Amino acid sequence: MTSLGYEAAALGAALSWAIGGLIAARPTGVLGGPRFTRLRMYWVAFALALIATLVGGWDSVGTRELVLLSMSGIVGLALGDAALFTAFAIVGPRRTGILFAANAPIAAILSAIVFGERFSFPALIGSGLVMIGVTFAIAFGTRPGQNHHWEEIKGNLLVGIGFGLLGAAGQAVGVLLADPAFEADLDPWAGAAVRAIVGLAALVALRGFFERRTRVPYPERIGWKLWGIIIASGTIAMVIGKTLVLIALADGDPGIVSVLVSTSPALQLPLIWLVTRERPAAGAWVGAVLASVGTAMIVV
C-alpha cells in the first residue's frame, strides 16, 4: 500500500468514529446510554465474532490473552461505553466527543504510574493541550442562535462531564489492559471479538444495575428504524473503523496512524455543521484542534 493509502485509511477510521458518534445521538436520547450500549454491542459482538471465524483467528487467543482482553472488555466497553453514551444523552455528541479526547492523557498518566513509562516533555505539553481544548470547547463551544437539540444540555452539565470523563478513563484503562495481549501473535479480529463478547456479557449481567438508574423510560417497542440506526452506528464506528485502522497499520507508520486517527474530534465539527446547518462556535473549533494536536503529541 502506498503512503497515501495508509494515511487515507487512518483518516477514514477517524471519520468513521466521528460519523458513528453522530449516528448514536438519537438512540442514546431515546434509550439512554446503558441500553444503547448493550443493544449496539449485540450486533458488534456478532459481527466481530463472525469476521474472526472467517479469518480463522480464534486459535491465536491463549489463556493470558483471554484474561487481559476480558478485563479490557469489562472496563473499556461495558463500563466505559455505558458512561460515554450516558454523557451523549446529557450533553450531546459534540461535547462528548471532545471529552472523550481526554482518554489520551489519562492513558499516558496511567502508563507512567503503573508501568513506569517515561512521561516525555511533548506528552506533558500534549496532555495540557488536550485538557485546555476540552475546557475551551465546553465553556465556549456554543454561540448565540444555535438551536439544534444536539447543543441542548438535558440534565446537569457537571454530571454529563463526569460521565464523559469516566468513559474516557474506561477507554484508557481498557486499552492499557488490551495492549499486552496484542503485543503477542494475536489475531486482531479475534482479540476485538473477545473484548466485545465479554463486554456484552458484562452489560447483560449489569443490566438491572445500569438501566434502573437511567432516567430515560424504556420504549414499549424498538422499531426497525431504531434498530437500523443502532446497527449502523456499531458497523461504522466499530467494524468499518476497526478495519481501516488495521489496513493503515499493516503498511503505515504507527505514530503517523495514531496522529491521523486522533483527528476525530476535529472531523466531527464539519459533520455537525452539515447535519444541523448551524456553524459551530469558534470555541468549538479551537478546542477540537487543541485536543487533536495534544493527542498527537502524546501518542507519537
116: left (phi over 0), alpha (psi -120 to 50) or beta: left
Tell me which residue of 92, 37, 48, 90 sits closest to 233, measured CA to CA.
Answer: 37
The whole-angstrom separation of Cα 118 and Cα 296 is: 17
What cell numbers appear for 300 in the block?
A: 507519537
Q: For the chain, what are the domain ranges?
A: 3-299
Residue 184 has pLDDT above 50, yes or no: yes
The whole-angstrom separation of Cα 290 and Cα 284 is: 10
DSSP helix/strand/coil, 165:
helix
Amino acid at 186: L
pLDDT grade for 53, boundaries at 50, 70 and 90 = very high
Percent of residues, the chain, with pLDDT higher than 70:
94
pLDDT grade for 2, boundaries at 50, 70 and 90 = very low
Angle at Cα 181 formed by Cα 178 and Cα 183, nearest 5°?
110
* Tens-digit pLDDT profile for residues 59-106: 999 999 999 999 999 999 999 999 999 998 899 888 888 898 888 888
Burial 104-128 (b: 16+ CB within 10 A, else e): bbbbbbbbeeeeeeeeeeebbebbe
* Tens-digit pLDDT profile for residues 229-261: 999 999 999 899 888 887 777 667 766 777 777
In this prediction, residues 198-215 reach a mean pLDDT of 84
Least confidently predicted of 39-43, 219-223, 225-229:
219-223
Q: Where are the alpha helices (H) located in the chain, listed in sequence order?
A: 3-23, 25-31, 33-55, 63-72, 81-100, 103-114, 121-139, 157-183, 188-205, 207-211, 224-234, 241-251, 254-261, 264-276, 282-299
| DSSP code, position 115 | S
CA distances from 209 to 29, 147, 166, 229, 281 (A): 19, 34, 17, 25, 38
The whole-angstrom separation of Cα 298 and Cα 258 is: 10
Least confidently predicted of 86-95, 114-123, 174-183, 232-241:
114-123
